Amino acid sequence: MLTRKTLLAASALLATTFAAWAEDPVKIGMITTLSGPAGYLGQDVRDGFKLAMEDNKLGGVPVELLVEDDGLKPGQGKQIAERFLSESGVKLFTGIVFSNVAGATVPDIVDNEAFYISPNAGPSNLAGKECSENYFVVSWQNDSLHESAGQLATNLGYKKAFILAPNYQAGKDALAGFKRFFKGEIAGEVYTRLDQTDFAAEMAQIRAAKPDVVFQFHPGGLGITFLRQYEQAGLGKEIPMVLAEPSMDGVTLAAVGEAAVGVNVSAHWNTDFDNPANKKFMEAWNKAYNRPATYYSSQGYDTGQLIASALKASGGKLDDSFRDALRKADFQSVRGKFAFGPNQHPIQDWYALKVEKGADGKPVIKTVGEVFKDHGDAYSADCKM
Amino acid sequence: MTLFLEQLLNGVQFGVMLFLMAAGLTLIFGIMGVINLAHGSIYMIGAYAGTFVATETGSFWLGIPAALAAAALAGVVIEFLVVRRLYGRDHLDQVLATFGLILIFNQAVTMLFGRQPLFVQMPSILDGSVELLPGLSYPIYRLTIILVGLLVAFGLYLLINRTRIGMLVRAGSTNREMVRALGVDVRLLYTLVFGLGALLAGLAGFMAGPILAVQIGMGEQILITTFVVVVIGGVGSIRGAFFASLILGIVDTGLRAYLPGLLRQVMVGPEADALGAGISSMGIYLLMAIVLLIRPKGLFIRNS
């Protein structure tokens, strides 16, 4: 008797949960960095993502976006993910900006058979051996940012580079990536601190090493400070700089101003890209928000579009059909061409940008050429799915 | 050699900034026995207020009184509304309350100014570099910071050692109860000291503006190092805070600049760089640990 009762109760429970599931919108857990100096990164990812939503729908499927701030703390990101998984029943995640947070959080998510679609961080370990069929990266693999900068420095004919990055995983990936494609000599290699605000000691070292180009990777507020101090130290006029896009986004440019003119940047997206998807995005962004669009916002938007295309194909179900649809990447990316490689990281083109004086005297970032065509990453061979 | 001198100046400049923060913190802790985590927020308030006024009016110089006034006002208000209730309570309550203040101030500034960092344009007279020695040119602005810091240190020295208020401050930091028993209005003294500490933090914040980004959470970045200064120098000692700041500034800069190079002599390049960066970021904490082992009360407190 008891077993029958239990069974009945269980099936009743199942029925109610099923009914609830069928009516409820698809929950999307967005864990991102909204506070602290790097808070604008997460804010842009979130607001870009929201632009891809129409009346709280993605691809015609109702969705509920749950946003939480990880405060750039890996432990906090992990806790939020656990809470979303167990309490809110979230099966689809996105949002993380920083690789150290992603490294602590993503494995938990995919181990619980939920999906994670990265709008920004693409650490090397998750692209290679620890790849997962539920883990997609819309942005880039971390190294690509800096590989393209290394190639750009080589293309521009520089022979002797001084390179700097903060002492954490993404910083090490950055210098490794740059060196992989830079053909010249390395005059000096310096690791800074992630919480460093004064770079006077490093400026003195750069001056003493007399390189003919400087490459540095300092995301968010760090990069702004670095560029300003570079200019104040009088190095701006002496030694040109080649950067990857995290060190020169729209916000950095607005803050640094004139000091940035002449800087070379490698990027996968820029505000001036001439394709219909990007024009639509830029128009929507400028209408909705009173601040410059950054590549973080473009990636948030692309992530939203990708999820929309897959939800549409799967009819709102988060199952194998959803994954298959994600793999097809059937959406119009703001960067033009877009496809996933075998490890579900993008294969895309990279471009050379240059900061120039605009018509109104304010500096603008202009696209001036190509660096890579259909560039994937170095880790996909290690990924066995 | 010029590179060494330049790094030395960098160290002194960093030390002077630390001193402006540490002077207030050590006074507040030494005299009132309050751990004030919100000191970093006052630094941020000074930076934001000064930068805002300087940008709106187009004059860097008008930013200075604005930063000082805003920071001192914020300090007095914090003392009056929150800290005053904490004098008798234990340190955990104080940490909790002032940590709460950090969150409140950070959020309030986010709401007022947004998350994007602000910048103030340097006045043209301080822009550029000056050649101190052949081959050694140094930014004028950083030299100015060193100068202002040393002047403030000298002024504080006079204030503490030559005036009646200074006498009360000194007395208060050694024996609070006795000062009260002698009929001194301790409440007023506390408010004054708190305001003075806040004023210096605001000055530091505004001077940092043109070099560093004025952004949410800027205070917390410098606050931790400031606490290290206070511990090394000895709680309540301005003289200790001054020398500890300079030592820490120079040690930190020196380690960052030279340790990877030294390590590269004995090991492979990339490993030396990574290890050097790791050790140099621990450097000041190691120094603090050593000082605590040898002189637990700090370098500049006489053992009683």
Contact A192, A166 (CB under 8 A): yes
In this prediction the pTM is 0.76
CB environment B5-36: b (16+ within 10 A), e (fewer)? ebbebbbbbbbbbbbbbbbbbbbbbbbbbbbb
* Contact present, A213 and A242 (Cβ < 8 Å): yes
Determine the pLDDT at residue A11.
57
Residue A32 has φ and ψ, to the nearest 5°, of -150, 170
- Strands A241-244 and A264-267 turn out to be parallel
C-alpha distance from residue A30 to each of A159, A319, B148, B186 (Å)? 43, 19, 47, 51
B104 in contact with A at a CB cutoff of 8 Å?
Answer: no
Q: Please judge whether B117 and A200 are an interchain contact, meaning their C-beta atoms are less than 8 angstroms apart.
A: no
Q: Is A31 helix (H, G, I), strand (E, B) or coil?
A: strand
Query: Is the dihedral angle over the CA atoms A271, A273, A278, A283 positive or is it negative?
Result: positive
pLDDT at B216: 84
pLDDT at A255: 77
Q: Which two tokens stand for residue A194?
A: 């992630």
For residue A149, what pLDDT is reported? 95
Contact status, residue A135 vs residue A107, Cβ threshold 8 Å: no
Nearest CA in chain B to A166: B277
Cα of A59 to nearest chain B Cα, Å: 31
Q: Find tokens 């703001």 and name the residue.
A: A334
Buried (b) or exposed (e) across B261-296, using 16+ Cβ within 10 A? Answer: eebbeeeeeeebbbbbbeebbebbeebbeebeeeee
| pLDDT tens figures, A31-64 | 999 887 678 889 999 999 999 998 889 999 999 9
B258 touches chain A (CB under 8 A): no
> Which residues are A340's β-sheet partners?
A346
3-state secondary structure A204-273: HHHHHHCCCEEEECCCCHHHHHHHHHHHHCCHHHHCCEEEEHHHCCHHHHHHHHHHHCCCEEEECCCCCC
Q: What pLDDT is attached to residue B172?
A: 79
Rounded Cα distance between A265 and A246, Å, is: 9
List, in sequence order, every residue forming a beta bridge with A336; answer none if it has no partner: A333
Give per-residue pLDDT as tens, B212-255. Answer: 878 888 888 889 889 999 999 988 788 889 999 999 999 999 98
Q: Is the minimum CB–CB distance between A331 and chain B shorter than 8 Å?
A: no
CA–CA gap between residue A355 and residue A364 (Å, rounded): 6
Ordered DSSP codes for A313-327: HHTT--SHHHHHHHH
**Nearest CB to B277 within list A39, A167, A205:** A167
Burial zone of B81 (CB within 10 Å; 0-12 exposed, 13-18 middle, 19+ buried): exposed
Average pLDDT over residues B173-187: 81
Identity of the residue in B6, B10, B274 whose CB atom sits nearest the CB atom of A191: B274
Q: Which of B10, B13, B215 sits opposite A221 (nearest CB)?
A: B215
| Residues of chain A found within 8 Å of residue B208, distances taken between Cβ atoms | 197
Percentage, residues of chain B above pLDDT 90: 38
Whether residue A114 is predicted with pLDDT greater than 70 in this model: the reply is: yes
Counting residues of chain A whose pLDDT is more than 70, the rounded percentage is 94
| Residues of chain A with C-beta less than 8 angstroms from the C-beta of B137 | 234
**pLDDT, tens digit (0-9, with 9 covering 90-100), for A142-198:** 889 999 999 999 999 999 999 999 888 788 889 989 999 999 999 988 888 877 878
Distances (CA, A) of B231 to B41, B98, B154, B174, B291: 20, 19, 22, 16, 9
Q: Is the ipTM of this complex over 0.85?
A: no
For the packed helices A276-288 and A295-314, what is the interaxial angle rounded to 10 degrees? Answer: 110
Residue (of B85, B98, B111) closest to B40 by Cα position:
B98
Of A191, A225, A228, the CB nearest to B277: A191
pLDDT-derived band at A362 (thresholds 50, 70, 90) equals confident
Which of B5, B256, B263, B264 would best serve as a mutation to test chain A binding (most A beta carbons within 10 A)? B256
What's residue A219's pLDDT? Answer: 77
Q: Could you tell me if B137 lies within 8 Å of chain A, comparing CB atoms? A: yes
The least confident of A113-127, A289-303, B16-30, B257-271 is B257-271
Q: What percent of chain A has pLDDT over 90?
A: 61
pLDDT at residue A21 greater than cutoff 60: no
